[in-house]
Amino acid sequence: MSEAVFSQLAMLVLLTGLIGWMGFIVWDLAKKSKAGKFGTLALFTVLGAGVVGFIVKTVLVEIMQI
């Protein structure tokens, strides 16, 4: 296994774990603050926008081959 393949695989696995951990943190924050359904939805929408932006950027870079 080359370093490039290992790096790509590790990034995929660890980044997925980080996104999952961030989702748990947002859920826990909503639960502890008693945000309710609308507040929880707002937290996931606003704080999840960064994750969506990162994924969109990655897809666009792959499509454009920069």
In the prediction, which pLDDT does 65 show? 84
Q: Does residue 66 surpass a pLDDT of 90?
A: no
In the prediction, which pLDDT does 30 show? 92
In tens, the pLDDT along 2-37 reads 898 999 899 889 988 998 999 999 999 999 999 899
The whole-model pTM stands at 0.71
Q: Could you tell me the residue range of the domain that residue 38 belongs to? A: 3-64
Q: What is the number of structural domains in the chain? A: 1
In the prediction, which pLDDT does 58 show? 85
Cβ neighbours of residue 22 closer than 8 Å, sequence gap 6 or more: 47, 51
In tens, the pLDDT along 30-65 reads 999 998 999 999 999 998 898 889 889 989 998 998
- Residue 2: HSE in the Cβ half-sphere, 13 Å Cα cutoff: 3
